[in-house]
Amino acid sequence: MLAQITKWVHQSPLSALLLKCINATWAQMIAAALLGAVGTLGFAPYHQWVLLLISLSFEIFLLTRLRCKKHVFCSLLIYFTALNALTLEWLNFVMTGFGQLPLIASWLIELLFSAYLAIFHALLGTLAFSLALKRLKPQAANSTAVAPDPTVPVQGAESTTNAAATAADADTEDDEDYDDSDALPQRGMAALGEERELTGGALPGWVPNSEQLSGVSIKGYPCFKLGQHEVRFYQNAFVLCFLPLALIGADFIIGWLFTGFPWMYLGYGLLDSPFSAYVPLVGVRGLSFIILLCAGALALTVERSYVYLPIAGVLFLGALFTQGISYVKELPPITMAGVQGNIAQAIKWDPRNTLPTIDKYLNLTTPLIGSNDLIIWPESALPVFIGQVEPLMADLNRYSYERHSPILVGIQRYEPPRTSFNSIFMLGQAAELAAAQVYDKRALVPFGEVIPLESQLRSLGPLFNFPMSSFTRGAYEQAQLQLTLAAKDNAATSTADSTKDTGSAEATNSANRANDASRTLNFVPAICYESIFPELIADMADESTNGIIMVSNDSWYGDTRGPAEHLAIARIRALELQKPMMRVTNSGITAYIDAQGHIVKRLPQNVDGVLQVDFVPTQGQTPYGRLGNLPLYALLLLTAIVGWALRRRTLTLEQASLSTLIRP
């Protein structure tokens, strides 16, 4: 009965129409776009990592059904363009709100930019597809064996089928009780009647001619015609080796070419999944490689190649068993305060609002001085050059120094004749302003902080004339920020309590400074856009690093998903090095992130306020912090070797028979 139902389903007109639509090129391209749209739900603020994994798995499955390089290229281009376009939709807010572009023009530019990012995945993915192909040499008719697609009639198949049926009848002549008309055809040695080598891993019993090779699909090694040549497609090598290599290579190109824009790494979608346990080992690039391996194994499982499913299972179990492992040691906490001024971006650079902005930050900060070990203002908190408010900064520096509460100020600096930097200054650690530590931003936002072809593009309109968009890139090699703290033991605490009663803040700080030796903490600084570059942060960190301080102005994103995505990227940076991060922004999301990448405390968006936390520094390095991308490079090399070995593999008769058992 079941066999009859199955036969009816396969022969029904509806089934034929559905199969035709599924195999149609236009349907496959639409499916790629829909899968890309689903995949974007894996990223912040949704964090549905399972949907990202499913989306990627089915996209890879679709790629294995394609038989043309052009179609592989288009499918990858459409998938990653859709993924990028929906994830980067906040760009439209920037272009319409500040660049004064019409919404249609904004979406067009955003789609073109998304396609630009996707084209590297498409090009290298197509190259991976080509590597998985092997041209077949002309062979004698009895030298190979492949299984034809039962849905495609081929010339010469009738005689072959009759021969196979005759052999089956002969084998059952001695069994009078055998009367199963739905029995499977014979497989293995009995089907061939003699030992011979199978060059393609095919089901035994079929001898192809040149017409039969076209469109034939066999376990793991489909054979088809590409142009004028008959080729074999090494599906497992493509899915598990060459394609992950290609897509990770595309990520490296996107992060480097034209200053780079590494916002959309697949690994960011696994932030709140068990797989995040691998981040301190291989970083976000390695996490992207792991999700590609899992998706590839699941794609082959959809093909009923169940032998590859344990790859995903082992990676998942490994993540579960390594969850929460700490590679660093916690140090005594310090008190930190982040000031979120919430100055609207539309008025931030208006000279009429400069004094009100300064007043707001001073009013929010003054009560914090003396009770915090460090106070942090966001990126470009004051919309001026430091030279323009030098007397004010000198007074603030002296006041915070006397009360032992350093202040990290985001402000620009200018060097004649025409050099300006987006910088942060560490005030309050020396009596003189000239001794303040300075860090200059090293990675600038294209078209936001630096304009390529400035003389030509400036005249085209507001899109290329954002305020403060002519910065100079800071030196790549810069020192970490050092925070010197007086040791606070019981004696100091007692002295502080006694002086607090008298209201003498100066006596309190004198007692703290006189008590034992001070300790120094080192912080890796990051300004906004810099946080999306994994190597930029990791290269500055070393054994002495105790935490990360990130300042940003996410008002550019408005009420889009941009601030949530930027926060998720910052969490990955903290987890890679297992260094806690104090992240302070102009309008949100200001947050304290612990060494495991968890948000401990945060402020709401679009409000002015102060985030006070007990910041727990750490000491030591993770494997990723110590070795960088070396483990990933080793994995990629091993994957390339395995892929090439699979491509050169020739199955024997016994191995081919076993493959028919693995795939029912």
Known catalytic residue at 654: no
Task: Look at the chain and count its residues.
Answer: 664
Active-site entry in 59, 379, 530, 565: 379
Q: Is 318 exposed, middle or buried (0-12, 13-18, 19+ CB in 10 A)?
A: middle
CA dihedral 276, 280, 285, 291 (to 10 degrees): -30
Q: Is 80 exposed, middle or buried (0-12, 13-18, 19+ CB in 10 A)?
A: buried
Instruction: Please spell the DSSP secondary structure of 34-86, one letter per residue.
Output: HHHHHHGGGSTTT--HHHHHHHHHHHHHHHHH---HHHHHHHHHHHHHHHHHH
Angle between helices 630-647 and 243-254 (to 10 degrees): 140
Residue 244 dihedral angles phi and psi, to the nearest 5°:
-60, -40
Instruction: Please spell the DSSP secondary structure of 135-171, one letter per residue.
Output: EPPP--TTS------TTS--TTHHHHHHHHHHHHHHH
Tally of CB atoms within 10 A around 111: 15
Known catalytic residue at 379: yes
State the Cα–Cα distance between residues 643 and 641, nearest whole angstrom. Answer: 5
Active-site entry in 219, 348, 441, 488: 441
State the Cα–Cα distance between residues 478 and 442, nearest whole angstrom. Answer: 9
Which amino acid, one-letter code, is at 40? T
Residue 602 dihedral angles phi and psi, to the nearest 5°:
-150, 160
Active-site entry in 223, 241, 294, 528: 528
For the chain, state the CA radius of gyration.
32
State the Cα–Cα distance between residues 95 and 166, nearest whole angstrom. Answer: 73
Q: Which residues pair with 524 in a beta bridge?
A: 548
Structure tokens at 367: 């009560």
Q: Are strands 329-330 and 618-619 parallel, antiparallel or unpaired?
A: antiparallel
Contacts 24+ apart (CB under 8 A), 167-175: 167/191, 167/193
Structure tokens at 630: 């070396």
State the Cα–Cα distance between residues 207 and 216, nearest whole angstrom. Answer: 12
- The catalytic site residues sit at 379, 441, 528
